[in-house]
Homo-oligomer: A and B are copies of this chain.
């Protein structure tokens, strides 16, 4: 299958590389920034381009990995193509596609991509939605070539996934950062906490988080809760966070 990649950021880069590794032919990388387009195009042996009129309209697959608010405009350019057009956005509904378009769908990766960190694409859950069942069949084949973790997910469910990901990942990372602050304010290095963070995440790979909750709140260890609040004296925001989260744990269990 001949693929055109629209976008040159983290998501575009990881997808392009994964497509090539899976035996797809990347024929073009388009980005509004010509340097970025050329850079990624070069990596995957494709042509670069930054002019919309130059986009090859005869590809089998179009992967759109650009900012959410630029998707609709790009679809205007692609509205006549016969190939499968996919966006990769968690927050954009299927109805962004013009109904007249022949083949379209969503290929949303529920993963966090860093430019600096290599990622095993076989560990990326891919959430699929398609115009109809015939398109879904094709989309599934494409997705399964990239990762075994393939899920059919509606637009409404995709919104929920994104919300759950904010709690489990964005907010967790913020709590790691608070841990870092607390340590550094007391001449301790963040390094010492890293193995525990990793083990906490590894633990829920084969168990459910609600079954492995630990800590003073679930034990109703009031003495420790009081001591911790004392240690946070002068940091009303962290005291508040500590209290809110502890209460939430107690309420849940």
Contact = CB atoms under 8 A, between A and B. Distances in A.
A125 interface: yes
Chain A contact residues, majority secondary structure: helix
Interface residues of A, number: 87
Q: Which of A242, A244, A245 gathers the greatest number of chain B CB atoms within 10 Å?
A: A245
Contact of A248 (B114, B160, B210, B241): B241
A197 to B, nearest CB: 5
A193 B110 contact: yes
B241 A111 contact: no
B179 A164 contact: yes
A180 B167 CA distance: 10
Given A170-B215, A173-B214, A197 B188 contact: no
A123 interface: yes
A195 B163 CA distance: 16
Given A159-B227, A174-B248, A199 B164 contact: no
Interface in A130-153: 149, 151, 153
A179 B167 contact: yes
A70 interface: no
B200 A172 contact: yes
Interface stretch (A17-25, A28-36, A78-86, A201-209): A201-209
A200 B167 CA distance: 12
A210 B201 CA distance: 18
Q: Which of A149, A172, A249 gathers the greatest number of chain B CB atoms within 10 Å?
A: A172
A203 B165 contact: no
Contact of A176 (B172, B197, B215): B172
Contacts of A190: 208-209
Interface in A224-247: 224, 227-228, 231-232, 237, 240-242, 244-245
A157 to B, nearest CB: 6
